[in-house]
Structure 1
Amino acid sequence: MKFAALMRSAALVTAVALIPATTATMAQVDGRAGPEFAKLFAVFQRVKASYVEPVEDDVLIRGAIDGMLAALDPHSAYLDGGDLQRLETMIDGNYSGLGLSVVMEDGAVKVVSPFRGSPADNAGIKAGDFITHLDGTLIYGGSLDDAVAQMRGPSGTSIRLTIFRPGRDEPLEVEVTRGVIELEPVTHELGAGNIGVITVNEFSADVGADVFSAWQDIRKEAAGRVNGLVLDLRNNPGGSLDESVALADLFLTEGRIVSQRGRARGETILYDAETHYRGDMAEGVPVIVLINAGSASASEIVAGALQDHRRALVMGERSFGKGSVQSLLPLGPDAALKLTTARYFTPSGKSVQEGGIKPDIAVPQISDPDFALRQKYQTRESDLRGHLINEIGIKDEEMESDSIADPRFQLTADELKDQGVEDFQLHYAMETLRRTTASTVALRPAKR
């Protein structure tokens, strides 16, 4: 794979500072590590000599690398071959498949999120589902590359997925017809009452520019009279740090957007709003940012910045809680190391690691019939094995302190469907913008 393609691949990993790995840096090894390397080599030799079947060197070396990185945190990884190709394909789009973002978790293929409007989304596959069988064949314990390769295929062909959904007693059998997946990082619409909605599905290249273009289209359609804007970041797993800064900058005139702090030289960086850029593109327009447990990394940077500057009201559910930055370190022409190199902090100095972004107004997605079960078994950063610990040690029960039933959120999914409401969180955000004043929803920027 060309180095340029490797650079493009960075847009879909959860961060983005690209740091060249020099030969001198790679060669530096603490002298005290000598005995540990001796242990590793001794195990390698013993396995080669005594394992029940012959083992290729590359299998053992790759296993050692994967084990080394797995001991660090859930986000550091060695990428080569199919991993990099998959990232590049997702950046370029135009592939035939189901439209799923998946990860391997403890040997199981877990759905991070279905792309909106994709065959998987239309078939009802949800974030947090576990795929156990493909066309009746067990895939648990296999490789993620093999599972992804099986799910892809010519448009119009079908595949049967067996789904384990946490909270349900029986597995689900879902037949999905593959389609051509064209990734749309940014979509927009103008709703009743001249309320605009901009949905950001991922932070890939040019998202900041795409959101600005979407805003111009909304203004044109509304004849310049936009009464409110919903920025929907739900189920957005993140991506480019630079693009999250560019997006937040569209709504801020001054001040800190995010700070990045790491151990290595050059890893502590401050990102501020550029007052000479565009200023607040939606000045005077009330803004609501929608987040949920699937909003991670770059999404949390944007939500945290607009919340801390009191430019937008954050609504929905507590976000995923991924407050770390991964750098993509090239290791030759067709391999790279995705390594956690820093933590990031919101303008007020808060780390979102583990705790996530807490919405100003908690709004449950009660239009989802599985909402209660999904909440019970929801996975966030703090649930991942080996995750980085928040420096202030917040416990989950302290973050989820409000357990009082809210009378506004007591309707069932069927009752909402009868009212024509398929997405309650979005519906509630738009109704809030229609019924309140700009000063109530879009507070004035805090003086710093």
Structure 2
Amino acid sequence: MTIRFSKAVAFLVSFLFIAPSFAEEAKQEDPAKTYQLLNLFSEVFEKVRSDYVEEKTDQEIIEAAIQGMLSSLDPHSSFLNADHFKDMQVQTKGQFGGLGIQVSMDPSGLIKVISPIDDTPAYKAGMKAGDLISHLDGEGVSGLTLSQAVDKMRGPVGADITMTVRRNGEKPFDVTITRAVIKVPSVRNRMEGDIGYIRITSFTEQTERGLKKAIDKFNKEKGDRLKGIVLDLRNNPGGLLDQAIAVSDAFLSRGEIVSTRSRRSEDIQRYNARPGDLADGLPVVVLINGGSASASEIVAGALQDHARALILGTRSFGKGSVQTILPLGVHGAMRLTTARYYTPSGHSIQGVGIDPDIKVEIAKIEKIGVGVGTREADLRGSLKNTDEDAKQRKDKADEERNGKKEDVKKQEDYQLSRALDLIEGISLYSEMPRNTEE
């Protein structure tokens, strides 16, 4: 091993042997074999460094090696260099620069749209959940990592980018989008008659505060005339775990919200609701679809298991894993899948999703949901669900989804209309006089 190599991979070696989770694993491996493998890495590194057709810096090679190691674990583990780590920290605060689009890597090697964010350049340009992006400014994305593709989509505010899109078997077409500073209000609200409508687009640091403001606004406007609340989590890709817990807690007075279980049994964590219900027992309907993932599924699962809300829509995405951001000093951070989360009833939704209590397909001509059936289980390298009854639940949901669909009248937002009707019905029923006999 050369001195040159020792300097170049010092970070990688410390990464492997200092992190506690890797140190424990290293004890179970033969140290001699581990160092042989590091020597193999040394040989490959030096060959790339000296013979690759284009000159690459040591940092580029090492970061690419780490990215490859993490991305091979599952679709959600990745390396964040210093710039990406800074961008991620900004995004969780609810403001960032870019197109306003949530993406993942498709098994085909193309970039798949999970969902466009409301009222962003991508949303206004007509991008849809399930779209496949094959080219960025004429250059193919095949062979790029997700981080590399995201890098290409970022750029100066006001600069255009042209993406080649494939949609549901249609001929590929180009979409030109102008980059902008994305300011995403996590919570939006309005009144629908005497029913409060709350849409959470993602779970950021603003979410709990925004939810409380919305409910306070409803109470001030309607008082005792408030009939219930519709909580719209459609196309919400998730976000901060603590904010999902806070939103669930806002409607629950007691009981478990979610538990997380890592590789070590002693690391199980349980999160419980505190006394108090911001909605004061009013009916709640939660809207979900195939774009509702992660933190959205925590909320839907908790309210469903405690029978606090009716879940309406279509089956959710099925991302039941927890990613921990582990800072790596000046080098950035790593996003590592460290646990699975479980609903209060003890079910993992990994690769399965949350099944709605009332299944209502989208009837809008321009669909707002995922629409193409892409979910966590479809992603390359996704974690397997270890629940014994998970396969049965998934098979049942697939059978229902692939069965004959009823013809429904086209409306602007059919799912929301059904949710409002449901709350109106519950409210009317609760006001009906009861006949009793003594």
Q: TM (normalized to structure 1)?
A: 0.81
Q: Deviations over 1:254-313 (max 9, x none)?
A: 1111111122376311111112xxx11112311100111111111111101100110100
Q: Deviations over 1:117-164 (max 9, x none)?
A: 112112210112122223434344345555445544555554332211
Structure holding more helix per residue: 2
Letter of the 2:85 partner, please give it: L
Equivalent residues of 2:93, 2:204 under 8 A apart? no
Which of residues 115, 118, 121 is equivalent to 1:119? 121
1:389 aligns with 2:384: yes
* Inter-partner Cα distance in structure 2 for 1:389 and 1:153: 36
Q: Deviations over 1:370-397 (max 9, x none)?
A: 689x64x421111112211111251643
1:82 aligns with 2:75: no
* Inter-partner Cα distance in structure 2 for 1:257 and 1:205: 19
Matched-pair identity in %: 41
SS at match of 2:334: strand
SS at match of 2:225: coil
Which of residues 384, 408, 420 is equivalent to 1:430? 420
Q: Which residue of 2 aligns with 1:301?
A: 298
Letter of the 1:424 partner, please give it: Y
* Inter-partner Cα distance in structure 1 for 2:244 and 2:368: 29
Superposition pairs of residues 7-156 of structure 1, within 5 angstroms: 29-30=26-27, 31-32=29-30, 34-46=32-44, 48-49=46-47, 51-53=51-53, 56-105=57-106, 107-142=109-144, 144-145=146-147, 147-153=149-155
Unaligned runs of 5+ in 1: 1-20, 441-448
Superposition pairs of residues 8-407 of structure 1, within 5 angstroms: 29-30=26-27, 31-32=29-30, 34-46=32-44, 48-49=46-47, 51-53=51-53, 56-105=57-106, 107-142=109-144, 144-145=146-147, 147-153=149-155, 157-165=159-167, 167-192=168-193, 194-264=194-264, 267-275=267-275, 279-369=276-366, 375=371, 377-391=372-386, 392=388, 393-394=390-391, 396-402=394-400, 405=404, 407=406
Equivalent residues of 1:267, 1:342 under 8 A apart? no
Pair 1:94–1:326, CA change in 2 (3 A): closer
Equivalent residues of 1:208, 1:246 under 8 A apart? yes
* Inter-partner Cα distance in structure 2 for 1:33 and 1:438: 70
Q: Deviations over 1:56-96 (max 9, x none)?
A: 44344333322322332211222213321321332345545
Q: Which structure's relative contact order is higher, taking Cα pairs within 8 Å and 6+ residues apart?
A: 1
Letter of the 1:269 partner, please give it: Q
Letter of the 1:259 partner, please give it: S
Pair 1:174–1:23, CA change in 2 (3 A): closer
Which deviates the most, 257-266 or 222-231?
Answer: 257-266
SS at match of 2:104: strand
* Inter-partner Cα distance in structure 2 for 1:34 and 1:364: 57
Higher-Rg structure is 2
Equivalent residues of 1:286, 1:438 under 8 A apart? no
Equivalent residues of 1:285, 1:438 under 8 A apart? no
CA RMSD between the two structures: 2.8
SS at match of 1:64: helix
Q: Which residue of 2 aligns with 1:410?
A: 408
SS at match of 2:68: helix
Equivalent residues of 2:99, 2:121 under 8 A apart? yes
SS at match of 1:301: helix
Report the CA distance between 1:363 and its aligned residue: 0.8
Unaligned runs of 5+ in 2: 1-16, 431-438
Q: How many residues align?
A: 404
Equivalent residues of 2:82, 2:330 under 8 A apart? no
